[in-house]
């Protein structure tokens, strides 16, 4: 018997670390209507399958949400019923750094020149308003609370909104005009798993239109800068919000003052 190579041993060790997610994936099928995959397709047809593909960083295997949530054009489908939460509008929080990139406002005049690479995650407008109220309340944690509620890696938005800690609100008043739908998990901004050396970092995307923290979400199409500059406010309204700044800054100072572990 040949000795295992370092590469094969590493692969075995990594599989052992993610094996437990296979069993967990089945729980995501509850309340959905999975379909049977065709013989010539390797794409997922269940919510659990989509989540598992995300957890093992195989986004290319993620299929359509319609396979287990039904078509959004069917008023009776789970997909359509989920999108009813967005009838009064959709919403995205955009960091200062991202806003500058979207509108090419960096010092060198360069940036992405678009909102989103392939799609943009949005929340129901009413839910976003509620998060602002909660995160700006006395004793709340500002942007830190938004990150936790929306499944954003801890500290990402805080760093991207420093030093003012204000955040932009992109309010979609006409979600249908921007092709609203449930995210499949294959989107560029859907957080998949990754490896930090040999340490497994679990992906934070969840299927069926909910964040890991349980908040409702959907996606709309990406929009070029040229289109952003011509869209009326009846479709998309953009405003900067500084109501979370004080709470965010307080927690930043508390974290800096905390004694080091160990």
DSSP structure class, residue 204: -
Please give the full DSSP string across 18-75, using - where no structure is assigned.
HTHHHHHHGGGGTTS---PPPTT--S--SHHHHHHHHHTT-GGG---THHHH--TTST
* Distance of alpha carbon 239 from alpha carbon 15, whole angstroms: 45
Q: Is 56:128 a contact under the CB 8 Å cutoff?
A: no
Per-position pLDDT tens, the chain of length 262: 444 444 444 444 455 566 777 888 989 999 999 998 887 788 999 999 999 999 888 999 999 999 999 999 999 999 999 999 999 999 999 999 999 999 999 999 999 999 999 999 999 999 999 999 999 999 999 999 999 888 788 999 999 999 999 999 999 999 999 999 999 999 988 877 777 777 777 778 899 999 877 889 999 999 999 999 999 999 999 999 999 999 999 999 999 997 765 5
Q: So what's the pLDDT on residue 177?
A: 96
Q: Is 120:180 a contact under the CB 8 Å cutoff?
A: no
CB within 8 A of 222, min separation 6: which ones? Answer: 114, 115, 116, 117, 118, 119, 120
Q: So what's the pLDDT on residue 7?
A: 42
Q: So what's the pLDDT on residue 226?
A: 96
Q: What are phi and psi for residue 57, nearest 5 degrees?
A: 55, 50
Q: So what's the pLDDT on residue 37?
A: 83
Longest dimension (CA), the chain: 70
Task: Give residue 83's Cα distance to chain centre.
Answer: 16
Q: So what's the pLDDT on residue 11?
A: 44
Q: Is 119:221 a contact under the CB 8 Å cutoff?
A: yes
Q: Tell me the β-bridge partners of 216.
A: 210
Q: Tell me the β-bridge partners of 220.
A: 120
Beta strand spans in the chain (E): 90-94, 114-124, 167-172, 194-196, 199-201, 218-224, 236-241
């Amino acid at each position: 018997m040949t000795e295992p190579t370092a590469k094969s041993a590493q692969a075995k060790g990594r599989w052992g670390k993610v094996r437990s997610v296979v069993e967990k994936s089945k729980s995501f099928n509850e309340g959905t209507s999975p379909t049977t995959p065709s013989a010539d397709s390797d794409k997922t047809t269940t919510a659990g399958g989509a989540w598992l593909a995300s957890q093992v960083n195989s986004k290319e295997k993620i299929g359509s949400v319609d396979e287990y949530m039904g078509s959004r054009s069917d008023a009776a489908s789970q997909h359509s019923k989920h999108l009813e939460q967005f009838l009064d509008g959709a919403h995205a929080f955009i960091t200062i750094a991202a806003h500058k990139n979207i509108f090419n406002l960096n010092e060198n005049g360069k940036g992405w020149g678009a909102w989103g690479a392939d799609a943009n995650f949005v929340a129901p407008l009413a839910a976003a308003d509620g998060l602002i109220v909660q995160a700006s309340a006395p004793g709340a944690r500002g942007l830190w609370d938004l990150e936790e509620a929306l499944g954003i890696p801890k500290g990402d938005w805080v760093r991207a909104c420093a030093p003012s800690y204000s955040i932009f609100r992109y309010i979609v008043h006409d979600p249908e005009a921007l092709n609203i739908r449930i995210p499949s998990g294959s989107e560029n901004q859907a957080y998949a798993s990754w490896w930090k050396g040999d340490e497994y970092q679990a992906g934070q995307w969840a299927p069926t239109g909910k964040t890991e923290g349980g908040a409702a979400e959907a996606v709309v199409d990406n929009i070029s800068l040229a289109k952003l500059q011509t869209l009326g406010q009846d479709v998309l309204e953009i405003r900067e919000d500084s109501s979370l700044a004080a709470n965010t800054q307080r927690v930043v100072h508390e974290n800096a003052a905390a004694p080091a572990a160990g």
